[in-house]
């Protein structure tokens, strides 16, 4: 079945996403679905306050990617970015372990001011998306801060402390969340109204679980077809610390089977990298899951949607 404009026939797709990998798949979905058919639910467990500003790394990566502004290689921030404010903060002895670009700073300044004025994060995100000309709807997973915390060999760290300041080095024993567990109401509505859920190739522990663990999300997903894209390719994470986390948290090697086990009971199907071993117990589709070009993103998105039409 083919949709009214192009691509497969799902009319209301909800994608769950963290940063880089998830954002690229979302960009592909945006290329093959009409804008009104796609809602993106983004992890905000990595959010933090830095330089007095509310930073939402995954929301920003998804926004910048869909706006065509994302840095093509580094996985965070903007293309053609400058770091003049950062240089001055560093010169003045301010906190310099997290690099913030100048354009990026403009986003954080506007967001922080709107939040301080009482606007909800979902409303601020919608405003930013409108200004940046983004078609699909982007929702933060929740309105209020809910931080992902990691119990590590070096004590309990928040996500940015662990990933950026400590470079993801301390072994992780447990991942948990602190803060109100209410999902953004629009997230539950979007899931209820959807006919397909796509879980992007993001880190299950720190990008997707924080969404799944919000009140009512798993129950809402139970009634829907859910397909995921494996973030593990050839036994390694395409980007980031996931492979080590699987070993530390699941006690097994990183593989599509480990991803399938992590999401057991939730998935109708798993898209895996061509050549990787198919997991038992769930339908899987071999595809090219490493998205180097924008065409790669659209091709993978089309594969995911086509696969979702044929899984049970």
> Is the Cβ of residue 24 or residue 114 nearer to its own copies in the bound state?
114
Q: How far is CA 137 from CA 47, 65, 194, 246, 306, in A?
A: 19, 13, 13, 31, 22
- How far is Cα 306 from Cα 296, in angstroms, rounded to an integer? 15
Judged by CB under 8 A, the stretch of 91-99, 160-168, 218-226, 263-271 that binds its own copies is: 91-99
> Is the Cβ of residue 87 or residue 144 nearer to its own copies in the bound state?
87
Ramachandran assignment for 76, one of left (phi > 0), alpha (psi -120 to 50 degrees), beta (any other): beta
Q: Is residue 74 within the footprint of its own copies (CB under 8 A)?
A: no
Q: Is residue 84 within the footprint of its own copies (CB under 8 A)?
A: yes
Q: Which of residues 131-160 bind its own copies (CB under 8 A)?
A: 131-132
Q: Is residue 51 within the footprint of its own copies (CB under 8 A)?
A: yes
Q: Is residue 56 within the footprint of its own copies (CB under 8 A)?
A: no
Q: Is residue 63 within the footprint of its own copies (CB under 8 A)?
A: no
Q: Is residue 87 within the footprint of its own copies (CB under 8 A)?
A: yes
Q: Is residue 110 within the footprint of its own copies (CB under 8 A)?
A: yes
Q: Helices 102-116 and 121-131 sit at what angle, rounded to 10 degrees? A: 140
> Is the Cβ of residue 119 or residue 171 nearer to its own copies in the bound state?
119
DSSP 8-class letter at 2: B
Judged by CB under 8 A, the stretch of 87-95, 208-216, 255-263, 264-272 that binds its own copies is: 87-95
Q: CB neighbours of 87 closer than 8 A, spacing ≥ 6?
A: none
What element of type H or E holds 283? strand 283-287
Q: Is residue 102 within the footprint of its own copies (CB under 8 A)?
A: yes
> Is the Cβ of residue 109 or residue 120 nearer to its own copies in the bound state?
109
Task: Give me 221's structure tokens.
Answer: 């997903």
Least distance (Å) from its own copies to the CB of residue 104? Answer: 8
**Which residue in 26, 2, 75 sits closest to 199, CA to CA?**
26
Beta bridge pairs of residue 78 = 70
Task: Give me 195's structure tokens.
Answer: 């006919």
Task: Give me 35's structure tokens.
Answer: 């804008």
- Applying CB under 8 A, the site for its own copies has a residue count of 31
Binding interface with its own copies (CB under 8 A): 51-53, 81-82, 84-89, 91-94, 101-107, 109-110, 112-113, 116, 127-128, 131-132
């Amino acid at each position: 079945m083919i949709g009214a404009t192009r691509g497969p026939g799902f009319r209301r797709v909800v994608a769950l996403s963290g940063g880089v990998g998830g954002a690229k798949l979302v960009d592909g979905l945006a290329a093959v679905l009409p804008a009104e058919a796609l809602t993106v639910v983004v992890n905000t467990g990595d959010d933090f306050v830095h330089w007095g500003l509310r930073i939402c790394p995954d929301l920003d990566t998804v926004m910048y990617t869909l706006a065509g502004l994302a840095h093509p290689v580094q996985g965070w921030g903007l293309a053609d970015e400058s770091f003049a404010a950062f240089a001055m903060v560093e010169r003045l002895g301010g906190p310099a372990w997290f690099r913030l670009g100048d354009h990026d700073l403009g986003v954080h300044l506007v967001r922080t001011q709107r939040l301080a004025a009482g606007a909800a994060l979902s409303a601020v995100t919608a405003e930013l998306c409108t200004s940046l000309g983004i078609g699909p709807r982007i929702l933060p997973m929740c309105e209020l801060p809910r931080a992902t915390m990691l119990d590590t060999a070096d004590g309990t760290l928040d996500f940015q402390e662990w990933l950026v300041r400590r470079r993801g080095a301390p072994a992780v024993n447990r991942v948990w969340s602190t803060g109100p567990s209410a999902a953004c109401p629009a997230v539950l509505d979007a899931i209820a109204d959807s006919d397909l859920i796509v879980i992007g190739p993001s880190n299950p522990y720190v990008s997707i679980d924080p969404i799944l663990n919000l009140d009512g999300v798993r129950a809402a997903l139970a009634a829907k077809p859910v397909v995921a894209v494996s973030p593990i390719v050839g036994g390694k994470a395409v980007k980031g610390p996931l492979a080590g986390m699987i070993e530390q948290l699941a006690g097994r090697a990183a593989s599509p089977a480990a991803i399938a086990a992590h999401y057991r009971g939730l998935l109708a199907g798993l898209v895996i990298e061509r050549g990787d071993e198919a997991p038992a117990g769930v339908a899987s589709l071999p595809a090219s899951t490493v998205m180097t070009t924008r065409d790669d993103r659209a091709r993978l998105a089309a594969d995911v949607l086509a696969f979702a039409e044929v899984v049970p």
